[in-house]
């Protein structure tokens, strides 16, 4: 540790550009379907390089060890009461095992500003590349937008990927100017990003992106040490307005359930909204699974997002997609691991927010922006997973990779500042 503090950020790994290749390629191909073998090859290579760096040059201690241990521990403990222990064991390996490998790898590899920006642009290249695939597919079939997103794991998964990446695009747009170009090249990514989001036809994508943007702007506004330029403010306000228009347009293609009864004309707008919600698909799903949570409130059925699907009998009138899971990450955790699992998830998210808030309160401008990026990421993650649960598979790996990048760069920046005082 003393070796690390005695050197500037990244100086102990001055010649590791090639070592970042597996991690950068991992971020680049993560949203693409049919790349599972290459994805895990890149992840394990990145982990091996990170492990070598960890023992060779030293690294700061990984934050959040206790919340992570509590979260993983309760998930592991659920094997003792799981209604399908082998299914839960496989899900533990896939969701928590691989997720922690990604967190550790990106935490170690993001050792300085150069590494941070290399991985950032690898992420943005993935956004641009997958958007290009959607555009080509739309042109080939003569339909725009491209509803069939098989190469991007489907609209729900791909829209979650985009909503998680959006906070990092905002970081690139709002970081201190480099004075190399008359405008930021990252602004060219914005229309590509908006096209990709619209191609998913996913309503919650726009809400998650909007929440991330509002969180970013609010945190910048309340930060007395950083002022946003008028040009950037106008540009982002325009983006928010465009997102609102596209959200309304997408919502028209997904009308409310026809089963909704008419509401008395004298009722308030809130009554109309609540009555419509009570007859919506999500309300039926949440009510059904909440009743099953009440059957096993302290244990759940065992770890694994889709385990309840294998345990309970589907109501005959329900489509298969309705019955997959509770379509809410918090309800799913309560369903899998009971209330202790839900509490563990909330503690983990709270610990992440606390850590990113500490970055945000830093006197160093770059560290503050990293903290804002992390807080916006959590806001987007929670919003996107309120009506579904994509905290698994590729999106789960992406979340932990991005968290690892933020913690790696932010922790080192904070330690360097504290050691220089």
Residue 337 near residue 78, CB atoms below 8 Å = yes
16-70 pLDDT, tens digit each: 568 899 999 999 999 988 889 999 999 999 999 999 988 887 778 889 999 999 9
Residue 373 near residue 171, CB atoms below 8 Å = yes
Residue whose entry in the numeric block shows the structure tokens 């905290």: 391
Long-range contacts, stretch 34-37, CB < 8 angstroms, 24+ apart: 34/151
CA gyration radius for the chain? 22
User: What per-residue confidence (pLDDT) applies to 3?
Assistant: 43
**Alpha carbon separation from 73 to 68, 183, 238, 340 (Å, rounded):** 8, 48, 45, 11
Q: How many helices (H) and strands (E) does the chain have?
A: 18, 0
Q: Which residues of 100-112 are buried (b: 16+ CB within 10 A; e: fewer)?
A: bbbbbbbbbbbbb
Length of the chain equals 421
In this prediction, the residues of the chain whose per-residue pLDDT falls under 70 are: 1-17, 138, 141-150, 176-184, 224-237, 239-280, 319-322, 420-421
158 CB burial (10 A radius; 0-12, 13-18, 19+)? buried
d(CA 292, CA 219): 39
Closest CA to 375 of 390, 394, 362, 392: 362
DSSP state string for 183-215: S-GGGGHHHHHHHHHHHHT-HHHHHHHHHHHHH
Closest CA to 337 of 90, 91, 74: 74
d(CA 415, CA 212): 27
Number of domains in the chain: 1
User: What per-residue confidence (pLDDT) applies to 233?
Assistant: 60
pTM, whole model, 2 decimals?
A: 0.87
d(CA 278, CA 263): 12
* Domain that residue 286 falls in: 2-419
Query: Nearest 10 degrees: CA dihedral of 302, 288, 210, 343?
Result: -40
Cis before 280 (ω within 30): no
Closest CA to 324 of 379, 388, 374: 388
Q: Which residues contact 237 (CB under 8 A, 6 or more apart)?
A: none
Q: Which residues of 116-133 are buried (b: 16+ CB within 10 A; e: fewer)?
A: bebbbbbbbebbeebbeb
User: What per-residue confidence (pLDDT) applies to 9?
Assistant: 40
Residue 175 near residue 122, CB atoms below 8 Å = no
């Amino acid at each position: 540790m003393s070796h690390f503090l005695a050197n500037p950020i990244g100086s102990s790994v001055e010649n590791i550009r090639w070592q970042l290749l597996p991690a950068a390629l991992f971020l680049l191909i993560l949203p693409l379907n049919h790349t599972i073998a290459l994805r895990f090859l890149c992840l394990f290579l990145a982990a091996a390089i990170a492990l070598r760096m960890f023992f060779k040059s030293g690294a700061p201690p990984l934050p959040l060890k206790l919340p992570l241990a509590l979260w993983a521990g309760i998930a592991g403990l659920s094997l003792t009461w799981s209604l399908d222990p082998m299914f839960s064991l496989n899900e533990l390996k896939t969701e928590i095992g691989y997720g922690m490998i990604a967190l550790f790898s990106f935490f170690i590899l993001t050792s300085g500003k150069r590494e941070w920006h290399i991985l950032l642009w690898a992420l943005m290249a993935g956004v641009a590349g997958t958007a290009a695939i959607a555009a080509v597919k739309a042109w080939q079939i003569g339909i725009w937008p491209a509803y069939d997103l098989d190469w991007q794991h489907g609209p729900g998964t791909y829209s979650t990927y985009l909503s998680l990446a959006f906070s990092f695009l905002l970081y690139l747009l709002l970081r201190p100017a480099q004075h190399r170009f008359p405008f930021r090249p990252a602004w060219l990514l914005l229309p590509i990003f908006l096209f990709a989001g619209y191609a998913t036809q996913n309503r919650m994508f726009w809400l998650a992106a909007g929440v991330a943007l509002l969180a970013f702007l609010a945190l910048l506004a309340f930060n007395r040490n950083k002022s946003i330029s008028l040009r950037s403010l106008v540009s982002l306000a325009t983006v928010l307005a465009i997102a609102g228009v596209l959200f309304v347009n997408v919502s028209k293609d997904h009308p409310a359930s026809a089963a909704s009864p008419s509401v008395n004309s004298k009722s308030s707008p809130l009554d109309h909204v609540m009555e419509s919600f009570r007859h919506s698909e999500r309300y039926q799903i949440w009510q059904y699974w909440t009743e099953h949570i009440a059957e096993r409130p302290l244990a759940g059925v065992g770890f694994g997002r889709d385990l309840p699907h294998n345990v309970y009998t589907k109501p005959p009138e329900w489509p298969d997609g309705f019955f997959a899971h509770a379509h809410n990450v918090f309800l799913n955790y309560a369903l899998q691991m009971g209330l202790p699992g839900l509490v563990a998830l909330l503690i983990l998210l709270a610990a992440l927010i606390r850590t990113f808030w500490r970055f945000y309160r830093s006197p160093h401008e770059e560290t503050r922006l990293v903290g804002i990026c992390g807080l916006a990421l959590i806001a987007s993650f929670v919003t996107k997973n309120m009506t579904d649960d994509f905290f698994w598979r590729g999106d789960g790996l992406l979340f932990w990779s991005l968290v690892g990048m933020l913690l790696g760069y932010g922790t080192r920046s904070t330690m360097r500042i504290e050691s220089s005082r």
